[in-house]
Structure 1
Amino acid sequence: MIHTDMRNPTREGVLAAADSIGRILPPTPLLPVEIDGVNCHVKAESLQPVGAFKIRGGWWRLSNLTDEEKARGVVAVSSGNHAQGVAWAARRLGIRATIVMPRNAPKVKLEATRALGADIVLYERPGEDRDEVAAKLIEESGAVLVHAFGDPWVIEGQGSAGVEIEDQLGRSPSRLLACCGGGGLAAGLALACPEAAIHVVEPVGWDMVGQALEAGEVVRVGEDPPSTICDALQPDATKPINLSVLSDRAEPGVAVTDEEVRAAQRFAFAKLNLVVEPGGAAALAAALAGKVELDEDTVILITGGNTDAASFAATLAGA
């Protein structure tokens, strides 16, 4: 579904995206945090207007559509955060957006996407191929696909977070810990901060980017993958465009368990006053579990806060 003739994302594109996004959105906070005696930083992307960093890629992709493409509308596939990012940008730019979402997506994400004015088409997860559902919609309507991670503009837009981090830190971070689904954010950060080590953090059994980095080629998830509370981090595989950016840049992948993620959610609430969804807490989970060595120039990205009250309360209670 990604055109083979699509251009490659560039650092120049990331800088242009950061300039564009900086005109419409304030920077998210860079918060000091102490972990195991090391003072480092957290980038609170959970405080974006849609509760996740995905607003960056959504805005940069849609604002780069031609007038003819804007008239055709857009289709995106997402469990919720990319959905809201695209829907937010589409509403601001006057573009019709249709989002293919799993029927079992968190209710809070479904409702928020619908409230932003997007049309939602539901599919069964597992069971149905979401890309096939999207392809049929595109064939019928002529709409433009806005892929959640395998798109150069989306990658550049996500990378704008790295430009903000450098500005806020006053220097290049030594390492960036990124929650990782398909690798759009990690690839964008690699372009934005060429001197920083990039650590991709994924749920156990869904570490498709980490496995792809190790294998040197795209790896698909197995037939019966384990369940994970990180609904935002479950793509079946990364895309060649992401792997091409990350292959020479990323450190070996890191995988975290559900319990490590829940511990990170509790830590963020107690120490940073942040509500963080499971997928948005994966990078922090890796840091707290000692799976990545930290220093004072380490920045950990908290990528999303779209969780429902009941499950978050249960996590805080230790359930």
Structure 2
Amino acid sequence: MLNQYLKKILSARVYDVAIESPLHQAPFLTERLGNRIWLKREDEQPVYSFKIRGAYNKVVQLTDEEKAKGVVAASAGNHAQGLALAAKELGIKATIVMPRTTPEIKVKSVKARGAKVVLHGDAFDDAYAYSQKLVAEKGMTYIHPYDDPETIAGQGTIGMEILRQMRDPIDAIFIPVGGGGLIAGVAAYVKALRPEVRIVGVESTESASLAAALDAGERVILPQVGIFADGVAVAQVGENTWEICKDHVDEVITVTPDEICAAVKDTFDDTRAVCEPAGALSVAGLKKYVEREGCDNQNLIAILSGANVNFDRLRYISEVAEIGEGREVILAVTIPEQPGSFQKFCSLLGKRPITEFNYRYGDDSRAQIYVGVKVGAEPGARQALLDELTAQEYAVADLTDNEIAKYHIRHMVGGHAPASVDDEHLYRFEFPERPGALLNFLRTLGKRFNISLFHYRNHGAAYGRVLVGLQVPEGTEAELRKYLKALGYRYWDESDNAAYHLFLK
């Protein structure tokens, strides 16, 4: 199989539209991690991602009859832009079906490259179903974003370039994984010629489909995927990609959204370019690998796969980057309600900067504060701070890994609910970012259950984060579950969350 792909990669037609992206050493990461860190800059492609390679290599090999009927794809991201540019260069009509929730900047980018955009449905599955309808009705050719041998071969040219550009021995290559097209192509080429090079896939903990498949020994479908790293939000790796990955990927490392945000900051510090979350996955995995292995003086390469990030998402990334790096701790601390207590607390922190402080008067005896503190990145710094506060008899809760504390509570600290608000249950939702989503929620729940708390944040994605308090009288829990099921939005019951009880209950 590797020989077959080797031939395809060597003859792939990608450089009509793609560039041979540079391989840059990352000086700050190299110094920090004690290894030579190299970044393969696919974010510098004409469409700011590697997807142009596979899309063009597939389209250029279509028959004249297929080209005449046009091509179609369902995509809300980088594949859409890559295919649009590929079709434009070849004079082929391209139709991209995108969910109605797709950010306007991505719609404009696809249109600007000459493709027709059809907005259909609220999710990728709806868009995909409509694209297949166009295939059946109009005879258009569907261009798969990752699960096609020619697409895989196009992405494999990245591996070819890496081996040509890097003359020194390569210890490991870290590759973002969604459907598997990129890692399959690179692994096929590199393992055919340099089998000693370690191929490491990196996935978000919210969409680790390849890790799940390797554990199971077969392709599996994840019950749900998170959307933060939208470029790799795939529930199942492809059939063709799996055939390569199962034998030629050495391991998969999973990283959290917070760790991804820290990696975005790392890449910016070294390149002054802003990667999208999926594009920085490889750096997050590389850092985790070095910490786990304790290796030094190795040549480690991370593929920066793309830079198509919405500007308004940068707010969220910057908020949690320090947490992802382990440099910020979020705490709930009880201090005496008396003059000088805040000064005493700050003095105890020493030279550690306070990044955030939220407080509201509670009663005459004590105050509950929400505080962010910068700590060193060295192992044990977080625990050392907790131990110091505990030794001074402060009641402390570590909220650094608490989802609603980071995304909601920090913006809502303002006192507890009055005694009249009883039977309150707290739920965390993901609302689709489209007109009518909130109205649908209110129509479904608002008239039956009183809304006692509401907080919403959008992070520049297709979904917004919503925190809702509902008064649920005893005996109506089953009725509420029925409403939530009918609503169809992803949700989590957070009624027992520690941050909720400390600041809002």
The reply to whether TM is greater than 0.5 is yes
Consecutive unaligned residues in structure 1, runs of 5 or more: 1-7
Letter in 1 for 2:6: R
Letter in 2 for 1:27: E
- Which residue pairs with 2:187 in the alignment? 190
- Which residue pairs with 1:37 in the alignment? 34
Query: Where in structure 2 are the equivalents of 1:96-107 lying within 5 Å?
Result: 96-107=93-104
Consecutive unaligned residues in structure 2, runs of 5 or more: 322-505
Query: Which of 295, 298, 321 is residue 296 of structure 1 equivalent to?
Result: 298
Asked whether the 8 Å contact 2:152–2:181 carries over to 1, the reply is yes
Asked whether the 8 Å contact 1:229–1:278 carries over to 2, the reply is yes
- Which residue pairs with 1:93 in the alignment? 90
Alpha-carbon separation, structure 1, partners of 2:127 and 2:232: 15
Residue deviations 1:69-114 (CA, integer Å, cap 9, x gap): 1111111122210111110100000011111223333432222111
Letter in 1 for 2:25: P
- Which residue pairs with 2:230 in the alignment? 231
- Which residue pairs with 2:60 in the alignment? 63
Judged with a 3 Å threshold, the aligned counterparts in structure 2 of structure 1 residues 253 and 318 are, in CA distance, closer, same or farther, namely closer
Letter in 2 for 1:273: R
SS state at 2:203 partner: strand
Letter in 2 for 1:180: V
Letter in 2 for 1:45: E
Judged with a 3 Å threshold, the aligned counterparts in structure 2 of structure 1 residues 108 and 173 are, in CA distance, closer, same or farther, namely farther
SS state at 1:300 partner: strand
Query: Where in structure 2 are the equivalents of 1:1-319 lying within 5 Å?
Result: 10-17=5-12, 20-33=13-26, 34=30, 35-126=32-123, 128-170=125-167, 173-194=170-191, 195=195, 196-222=197-223, 225=224, 227-290=226-289, 293=293, 296-316=298-318, 318=320
Judged with a 3 Å threshold, the aligned counterparts in structure 2 of structure 1 residues 129 and 252 are, in CA distance, closer, same or farther, namely farther
Greater relative contact order (Cα < 8 A, sep 6+): 1
Letter in 2 for 1:134: S
Asked whether the 8 Å contact 1:172–1:193 carries over to 2, the reply is no
- Which residue pairs with 2:329 in the alignment? none
How far did 1:313 drift? 4.5
Letter in 1 for 2:234: P
Asked whether the 8 Å contact 1:79–1:102 carries over to 2, the reply is yes
Segment drifting more, 133-142 vs 89-98: 133-142
Asked whether the 8 Å contact 1:105–1:231 carries over to 2, the reply is no
Alpha-carbon separation, structure 2, partners of 1:86 and 1:265: 26
- Which residue pairs with 1:4 in the alignment? none
Judged with a 3 Å threshold, the aligned counterparts in structure 2 of structure 1 residues 226 and 187 are, in CA distance, closer, same or farther, namely closer
Segment drifting more, 165-174 vs 59-68: 165-174
Alpha-carbon separation, structure 1, partners of 2:170 and 2:58: 26
Alpha-carbon separation, structure 1, partners of 2:66 and 2:307: 31
Name the one with the larger strand percent: 2
Alpha-carbon separation, structure 2, partners of 1:312 and 1:297: 30
Judged with a 3 Å threshold, the aligned counterparts in structure 2 of structure 1 residues 213 and 156 are, in CA distance, closer, same or farther, namely same
Asked whether the 8 Å contact 1:79–1:231 carries over to 2, the reply is no
Asked whether the 8 Å contact 2:14–2:54 carries over to 1, the reply is no
Alpha-carbon separation, structure 2, partners of 1:133 and 1:303: 28
SS state at 2:251 partner: coil
Asked whether the 8 Å contact 1:213–1:243 carries over to 2, the reply is no
Alpha-carbon separation, structure 2, partners of 1:241 and 1:230: 23
RMSD: 2.1
Asked whether the 8 Å contact 1:108–1:306 carries over to 2, the reply is no
SS state at 2:15 partner: helix
TM-score (norm 2): 0.58
Alpha-carbon separation, structure 1, partners of 2:33 and 2:159: 24
Asked whether the 8 Å contact 1:9–1:156 carries over to 2, the reply is no
Letter in 2 for 1:12: K
Segment drifting more, 149-158 vs 127-136: 127-136
The count of residues paired between Structure 1 and Structure 2 equals 308
Percent identical pairs in the alignment equals 34
Segment drifting more, 203-212 vs 49-58: 203-212
Alpha-carbon separation, structure 2, partners of 1:9 and 1:278: 33
Judged with a 3 Å threshold, the aligned counterparts in structure 2 of structure 1 residues 264 and 243 are, in CA distance, closer, same or farther, namely same
Judged with a 3 Å threshold, the aligned counterparts in structure 2 of structure 1 residues 129 and 158 are, in CA distance, closer, same or farther, namely same
Residue deviations 1:140-174 (CA, integer Å, cap 9, x gap): 11011110011010000001111111111125633
Alpha-carbon separation, structure 2, partners of 1:49 and 1:315: 24
Asked whether the 8 Å contact 2:18–2:52 carries over to 1, the reply is no
Residue deviations 1:49-80 (CA, integer Å, cap 9, x gap): 00100010011011111111111111112221
Alpha-carbon separation, structure 1, partners of 2:276 and 2:4: 28
Letter in 1 for 2:139: G
Segment drifting more, 288-297 vs 262-271: 288-297
